[in-house]
Amino acid sequence: MPADLLEFEEPVGVLLKEIEALSMLPRTPERERSIETLRSRADEIRTEIFANLTAWQRVLVARHPNRPNTLDYVERLFTGWDELHGDRRFADDHAIVCGTAEYRGRPVAIVGHQKGRDTKQKIFRNFGYARPEGYRKALRVMQMAQKFGRPILVFIDTPAAYPGVESEERGVAEAIAFNLREMMMLEVPIIVTVCGEGGSGGALGIAIGDRVLMQEFSVYSVIPPEGCAAILWRDSNRKVEAAEALRITAPDLMALGLIDGIVPEPSGGAHNDYDTASALVDQAISASLDEVSALSVPERLDARYEKFRRMGEEGLGFMDLDKPEPPQAP
């Protein structure tokens, strides 16, 4: 267990070690009681640590190798899951999973990134870096959902779209761009949940929705903090500052009006308790889905458009006093 702890959780680790040592000894009621006390202390400390995470620490939680991923949520929230493969153009991308299932007795389409946990899986999933065929597969399945009037639930967890030669050759930029435009016009409800890393265009390429929710400790950024630090500070070790400056945490993005809700996580992050994490995600998705489903198609599309249309308004100002738009001489 302590192997899974992040560096800043060290105080918790100390207690956990103590608990472990005690539980090796023969059990006595007294010992049981002290283990219990230690356990609740550990929980308390953990809650306190997680209440005050810095942006960079949140990045570490969002990237935690045990963080529940799309298929973990599929397993807990849905029944009758059938994975659908391939973009019918080139290949099946393993970094994005798509499929159909029932959610609370209602057929839905599911699309989400999948990073993989052990080394073998990570390689199979390309570490969650999707290639163009992943985005094209996602759109294919989403368009099928539209055809049959089924809502779409999306889970986001990717470092970025795959930056490789074949990605460029097969037009990853076009695949993402096309998804942005077409998802905007899909008539069925779309609920997006950022459950880990929202990595730039690679995330946005399947993240257009009527509601975009973020789990408490997930992040959503235009560039990974390391990349930003390498470019702007010329030093990727300045990632901690970059993470802070980029404002990538769920509360930051809520304040900027870029997401619609924050899904709370269990104490110590979603990876500490999959079932509680899933139940919280379930509540949030279900409430959002009900709200959005109540709208007519034109209302929903207008609301979706307006939502994205307003993004960035608070960054706009006027500096112009010199000329009220006169015609320009060529």
Q: Taking CB under 8 A as the rule, does residue 56 contact other proteins? A: no
- Other Cβ atoms closer than 10 A to 42: 21
CB of 156 to other proteins, least distance (A): 12
Q: CA neighbours within 13 Å on the CB side: how many for 153?
A: 27
Q: Which two tokens stand for residue 33?
A: 């009681």
Query: What single-letter DSSP state applies at residue 205?
Result: T
Q: What is the DSSP string of 66-117?
A: TS--HHHHHHHH-EEEEEE---SSS---TTEEEEEEEETTEEEEEEEE---S
Residue of 139, 154, 206, 223 that binds other proteins (CB under 8 A): 223
Residue of 2, 65, 149, 164 that binds other proteins (CB under 8 A): 164
Q: Taking CB under 8 A as the rule, does residue 161 contact other proteins? A: yes
Q: Residue 108: which of 146, 135, 72 has the closest Cα?
A: 146
CA distance 222 to 269: 23
Residue of 118, 169, 296, 298 that binds other proteins (CB under 8 A): 169
Residue of 57, 70, 167, 215 that binds other proteins (CB under 8 A): 167
Residue of 3, 25, 51, 319 that binds other proteins (CB under 8 A): 319
Q: Residue 266: which of 277, 275, 255 has the closest Cα?
A: 277
Q: Taking CB under 8 A as the rule, does residue 191 contact other proteins? A: no
Nearer to other proteins, 122 or 247 (CB): 247
Of 239-278, binders to other proteins (CB under 8 A) are: 241-242, 245-248, 253, 256, 258
The residues that touch other proteins, with contacts defined as CB under 8 A, are: 161-165, 167-174, 176-178, 180-182, 184-185, 200-201, 204-205, 208, 220-223, 227-228, 231-235, 241-242, 245-248, 253, 256, 258, 304-305, 308-309, 311-321, 323, 325, 327-330
